[in-house]
A and B are shown apart, each in its own frame.
Chain A
Amino acid sequence: MAQENNNTQMSEKEAKKKEMILFLSSSEEKESFLSKQNLKLLSDPLNDDNPITVQVLGICSALAITVQLQAAVVMSLAVMVVMAFSNMIISLMRNLIPSRIRIIVQLVVVAALVILVDQVLKAFLYDLSKQLSVFVGLIITNCIVMGRLEAFALGNGIYKSFLDGIGNAAGYGIILVIVAFFRELLGSGKLWGIEVLGHKGATMAESTGLYALGYENNGLMLLAPMALIIVGIVIWIQRSRNRKLIEEA
């Protein structure tokens, strides 16, 4: 946004030309790399503008892959890679994209990146890719990705778009990790696949840790509805601490 203001004295054509030539280096040189404004792009989506709890986007995958912490983290990282790169690529091309087919272009870019992520996972992290199965493919339909491309990357420089992508993916990821933490802990008594509450044997005598005291896993936690309820609780806590998020009745 800043460079647009600085360029007002130049004719529109000149400004565009300059931007096209210098889009990689100088369009944001007047701002330091981690200026307050840039940091805000990273931090806002974590709280005030969280994609899941405030904008209520990307709920579907928040339900589906939060049974285990590891899957949630990998999914968040995959979304982060896709968002950062798709934001950058779209921002790079923003002055070239014909506006009539811009949604198609966005879809093609996102879809291509998702296929790349899927192929890389299949080659290097095969077991995880099986676990994530269809959900990696569904990143394409994750509303957050397309939403940020349309709302941010089309109108901002590369570096800012990159930060915006990382920030929003992190905001998405942090909720996924919170939900997965509680679901895995209470649902199967594990964290990252490690039995943290002790081992559950066939009988109480064979069990260790909490299970020896008669503790039971809550199977309900493994079902999708509990993800919604946990997201609901997160929203409740967030709004009680951050009153400006509360809509007027």
Chain B
Amino acid sequence: MDKSSNAYTFIFAIIMVIVVGSVLAFASISLKDRQNANVKQEKMQNILYTVGVDSIEQNGELVPLTRPLAEANFKKYITNQIALNNKGEVIAEGDKAFNVDLAKELGKDDNEQQFPLYEAEVDGEKYYIIPLRGTGLWDAIWGYISLKDDVNTVKGVVFDHKGETTGLGGEITKAWFQERFADEKIFDSSGNLVGVSVVKGYGGGNNKDDNAVDAISGATITGDGVTKMISKRLKYYLPYFKQQTDMKVAVK
């Protein structure tokens, strides 16, 4: 066949696309389970990080919390996994709540969304962990925030992102930024839920009662995304926290 003919070119292109397509589809399907397992382990690892579990005692030695270890010890620290509706009613529990995909939930109406909530107990202290998701500059940002049992003080946060600029917005994944949120309050002095704002040119130093932390230079929009994500997602959990009469509630 004449290699410069149109027919040859078309046939070549068609065969190539079919072959490459099948190879990639096969690879994707055969590796999917393993990849999903990794994502699940990472989610558990992040949830445990927010409540300060970053190492595990093994054979008398403290070892860093790796992903497999996070999965193995998840149930030890997480006492309850539930999913709420926007009226604060529990509509799912256990693995069903864990598997709620926020990326999908965010696209739904408020009264159809499920809001996952994790309860943890570490060294006798009780914590509430709330998953977050919002948008940064380029793409999605997400994370977890844990509250102490007064439902006001932040224990810890973990953030991650899909495509923020490395070195600027991407810095939200770094410990030095996330550490700033520890002990911040999510309610202002008059009892309104305001979350924790990421503020440019922050002058508050180590003030933990001003509902604000210092921003990252060069990452204003990512920072605003974090601010918005925290206040917006936390508000959905207010009805539930108000119903819990046995809690030391700071909700006014």
Residues in A whose Cβ lies below 8 Å from that of B9 = 98, 100-101
A112 CA to B20 CA, complexed, in Å: 7
Residues in A whose Cβ lies below 8 Å from that of B35 = 119, 122-123, 126
Q: How far apart are A87's CB and chain B's nearest CB, in angstroms? A: 17
Residues in B whose Cβ lies below 8 Å from that of A96 = 3, 12
A223 CA to B166 CA, complexed, in Å: 11
What 0/1 readout, one digit per residue, does chain A (198-219) give for beta carbons within 8 Å of chain B? 0000000000000000000000
The main secondary structure of chain B at its interface with chain A is helix
What 0/1 readout, one digit per residue, does chain A (112-124) give for beta carbons within 8 Å of chain B? 1001100110111
> Within the complex, which residue of A64, A108, A115, A223 is in contact with B16, where a contact is CB–CB below 8 Å?
A108
Is residue B206 contacting chain A, with contact meaning CB distance below 8 A?
no
| Chain B, 4-34, CB within 8 A of any chain A CB | 4, 8-9, 12-13, 16-17, 20, 23-24, 27-28, 31, 34
Question: Nearest CB to that of B20 among chain A residues?
Answer: A112
A-B contact count (CB 8 A): 54
Whether A126 lies near B12 (C-beta < 8 A) is: no
Is residue B233 contacting chain A, with contact meaning CB distance below 8 A?
no
| Chain B, 25-69, CB within 8 A of any chain A CB | 27-28, 31, 34-35, 38, 42, 67
> Within the complex, which residue of A105, A108, A109, A123 is in contact with B34, where a contact is CB–CB below 8 Å?
A123
> Within the complex, which residue of A98, A112, A126, A224 is in contact with B24, where a contact is CB–CB below 8 Å?
A112
Is residue A2 contacting chain B, with contact meaning CB distance below 8 A?
no
Whether B24 lies near A115 (C-beta < 8 A) is: yes
Whether B27 lies near A119 (C-beta < 8 A) is: yes
A97 CA to B12 CA, complexed, in Å: 8
A105 CA to B34 CA, complexed, in Å: 30
Residues in B whose Cβ lies below 8 Å from that of A122 = 31, 35, 38
Q: How far apart are A61's CB and chain B's nearest CB, in angstroms? A: 12
> Within the complex, which residue of A99, A109, A126 is in contact with B38, where a contact is CB–CB below 8 Å?
A126
Is residue B94 contacting chain A, with contact meaning CB distance below 8 A?
no
Is residue A1 contacting chain B, with contact meaning CB distance below 8 A?
no
Residues in A whose Cβ lies below 8 Å from that of B204 = none
Q: How far apart are A38's CB and chain B's nearest CB, in angstroms? A: 29
Residues in A whose Cβ lies below 8 Å from that of B239 = none
Is residue A10 contacting chain B, with contact meaning CB distance below 8 A?
no
Residues in A whose Cβ lies below 8 Å from that of B27 = 115-116, 119-120
Q: How far apart are A95's CB and chain B's nearest CB, in angstroms? A: 8
Whether B24 lies near A116 (C-beta < 8 A) is: yes
Interface residues of B toward A: which range?
20 to 34
Whether B23 lies near A120 (C-beta < 8 A) is: no
Residues in A whose Cβ lies below 8 Å from that of B17 = 108
A108 CA to B13 CA, complexed, in Å: 10
Whether B4 lies near A99 (C-beta < 8 A) is: yes
> Within the complex, which residue of B12, B16, B31, B67 is in contact with A119, where a contact is CB–CB below 8 Å?
B31
Residues in A whose Cβ lies below 8 Å from that of B166 = 64, 133
Residues in B whose Cβ lies below 8 Å from that of A127 = 67
Is residue B163 contacting chain A, with contact meaning CB distance below 8 A?
yes
A126 CA to B43 CA, complexed, in Å: 13
Q: How far apart are A119's CB and chain B's nearest CB, in angstroms? A: 5
Q: How far apart are A210's CB and chain B's nearest CB, in angstroms? A: 22
Is residue A134 contacting chain B, with contact meaning CB distance below 8 A?
yes
B→A interface (CB under 8 Å): 3-4, 8-9, 12-13, 16-17, 20, 23-24, 27-28, 31, 34-35, 38, 42, 67, 163, 166-167
Instruction: Write 20 A-B pairs (CB below 8 A) sorted by A numbering.
Output: A97-B12, A98-B3, A98-B4, A98-B9, A98-B12, A99-B3, A99-B4, A101-B13, A108-B17, A112-B23, A115-B24, A115-B27, A116-B27, A119-B28, A120-B31, A122-B31, A122-B35, A123-B31, A123-B34, A126-B38
A→B interface (CB under 8 Å): 64, 96-101, 104-105, 108-109, 112, 115-116, 119-120, 122-124, 126-127, 133-134, 223-224
